[in-house]
Amino acid sequence: MTESNNAGKRDVYTVSRLNREARTMLAEHFLSIWIEGEISNLARPSSGHIYFTLKDDQAQIRCAMFRSQQRRLGFRPEDGSQVLTKAQVSLYEARGDYQLIVDYMEESGDGALRRAFDRLKGQLSDEGLFDTSRKKALPPFPNCIGIITSPSGAAVRDILTVLNRRFPAIPVIIYPVAVQGREASHQIQSAIETAVQRQECDVLIISRGGGSLEDLSAFNEENVARAISRCSIPVVSGIGHETDLSIADFVADVRAATPSAAAETASPEASGWIRTLTQFEEQMKRNMQTRLESHLKSYHWLTARLERLHPGKLLQDQAQRLDELESRIDRSVKNQLTQLSARVSARYAELAGYSPLPLIKALETRHQLLAQRLISIQQNTMEGKRQHLTKLSRSLETVSPLATLSRGYSITSRQTDGTLLRSAEDTQVGEIVETRLAGGSLVCCVQKIRKP
């Protein structure tokens, strides 16, 4: 009875509602996640989308990757591929299947490392970083050997053992780095740059023991390869075992199969150098003996000659000869000075005859006379012109109509066209005329005409 009464209060879900809310909860809780696994049951329908199962050794999950997201794929997914995906956790409502919607996928494990290795190898080869023409020769007798490796690995012990056996007198500097892990490539690059900056050694060994492709990944990084190519110090690589190859091996100036082989390549053999130095020593002894015997013969010959020619007598002859030469030089210098003095006096007298001073004084006197004449002529001309101008002014004043006007006469003209009026009949009543007087003019209107 109670269950029947509560039936109306129950929140009953439909299947659609349950799947929809479950999908929403999954999307809100997980957002975007990274997940790694192996592909199986991969299907490629005509729509272009791919569907597959991602699994590990204990569980599996369905996945879908739509065609629009596949443009960023750098490989072709297949069954058995080990991949790393970035996906949204979701639920396919129509079937109630829990699944992943994959946004991004990349290879993981050795497959991805091998593909990255081949891609970088091809790129650097095209740039010429592997060319033999850029390889530097190793010094035949290095003053110091630098080793870039892990300070606690087996490789450094093998290298030091070989160097101590072959030539223990050569100094060795170890640049400790990690040879495996995320920071290994940056430490190796920094060690190379430090060695170049310090210039402590004249050959570098880059080395580590054997391992998988993933273990050697630090020596397959682009930054390490470019650091080796820029290195001004010759580089010998001894990475892994004889069958292991890395990008660093291709860029290095010399590639050795193992760390021990790298040490042998970079160092001279002491016994061979000792034999060579012994041969040089014997040859130098023979040469010195021959030269001593030759110098001894020359010494005996010079001693006998010195006894025949006493140096005291030679010194007296040379002193007398020196006094004679000194007198000759003194006389010659005095004669030359006398001749030069006479030539200077003659040249001075000749130069005095060409002096411009008299001519300059004469020209100055003439200039003064001409200036005075010019001033006098200008004054006379000015005075004559002034008198002539006065005479012309008087003549002009005599014939000037202004003089007539000043005696009370006037001049009348028609205002419209300026025609002079000589008779009262030349105008008419109402016409405007202008009368010019000695002081100004009058504009008049004709009111009445009186005939003569």
User: In this predicted structure, what is the pLDDT of residue 190?
Assistant: 93
Query: In this model, does residue 6 exceed pLDDT 70?
Result: no
The confidence score (pLDDT) of residue 171 equals 93
Q: What is the pLDDT at residue 312?
A: 67
Give the per-residue pLDDT at 70: 86
Residue pair 55/37 in contact (Cβ under 8 Å)? The answer is yes
Phi, psi dihedral angles at 45 (to 5 degrees)? -70, 175
Does the structure show a pLDDT above 80 at 31? no
**Phi, psi torsion values for 194, nearest 5 degrees:** -65, -45
Percent of the chain past pLDDT 90, that is, above it, reads: 18
- Distances in Å between the Cα of 9 and the Cα atoms of 3, 5, 12, 18, 82 are 10, 8, 9, 18, 51
Q: How far is CA 149 from CA 114, 177, 259, 438, in A?
A: 23, 6, 10, 127
- Average pLDDT of 186-193? 93
CA atoms within 13 A on the CB side of 73: 18
Mean pLDDT score of the chain: 84
Min mean pLDDT across 4-8, 73-77, 363-367 is at: 4-8
Q: What was the pLDDT predicted at 136?
A: 92
Do residues 205 and 238 make contact, with C-beta atoms less than 8 angstroms apart? yes
State the burial class of residue 179 (Cβ atoms within 10 Å of its Cβ: 0-12, 13-18, 19+).
Answer: buried
pLDDT at 254: 93
Contact 229, 125 (CB under 8 A): no
Residue 197's pLDDT is 93
Confidence (pLDDT) at 191: 93
Residue 266 near residue 236, CB atoms below 8 Å: yes
Q: Which domains are assigned to the chain?
A: 15-108 (2.40.50.140), 114-272 (3.40.50.261), 405-445 (no CATH)
| Contacting residues for 6 by C-beta, under 8 A, at least 6 apart | none
129-177 residue pLDDT tens: 889 888 999 998 899 999 999 998 888 999 999 999 888 889 999 999 9
**238 closest CA partner among 218, 219, 261, 220:** 261
Nearest to 221 by CA among 206, 232, 242, 243: 206
Question: Amino acid identity of 418?
Answer: G
Instruction: Tell me the C-alpha to C-alpha distance, in Å, between residue 201 and each of 145, 157, 259, 262.
Output: 5, 19, 18, 16
Dist CA 290 CA 187 (whole Å): 58
Across 103-117, 210-224, 339-353, least confident range? 103-117
C-alpha 236, offset from chain centre: 32
Q: Of 21-30, 74-83, 124-133, 318-327, give the range with the top mean pLDDT.
A: 124-133
Determine the pLDDT at residue 186: 93
Strands 60-65 and 50-55: antiparallel
Mention every residue, 6+ apart, whose C-beta is less than 8 A from residue 154.
209
* Arithmetic mean of pLDDT, 346-357: 77
Instruction: Identify the band that residue 7 occupies on the pLDDT scale cut at 50, 70 and 90.
Output: low
pLDDT at 5: 54
Q: Given a cut of 70, is residue 124 above it in pLDDT? A: yes
The enclosing H or E element of 111 equals helix 110-126
The total of other beta-carbon atoms located within 10 Å of residue 291's CB is 10
Are 199 and 231 spatial neighbours (Cβ–Cβ below 8 Å)? no
Q: Is 280 left (phi over 0), alpha (psi -120 to 50) or beta?
A: alpha
Which residues have CB under 8 Å from 437's CB, separation 6+? 405, 410
Report the predicted TM-score, pTM, of the whole model to 2 decimal places. Answer: 0.45
> What Cα–Cα distance (Å) separates residue 338 from each residue in 326, 327, 332?
19, 17, 10
pLDDT, tens only, 372-427: 988 989 888 998 888 888 888 877 777 767 667 677 778 888 888 878 877 777 78
What pLDDT is recorded for position 253? 92
Q: Tokens at residue 224, please?
A: 């390490």
pLDDT at 298 over 90: no
16 or 195, which is more confident? 195
Whether the predicted pLDDT of 108 surpasses 90: no
Query: pLDDT, tens digit, for every residue of 190-244?
Result: 999 999 999 999 999 999 887 777 778 888 888 999 999 999 999 999 888 777 7
pLDDT over threshold 60, residue 446: yes
Distance CA 184, CA 174 (A): 16
| Cα(354)–Cα(348) distance, integer angstroms | 10
How far apart, in whole angstroms, are the C-alpha atoms of residue 115 and residue 280? 55
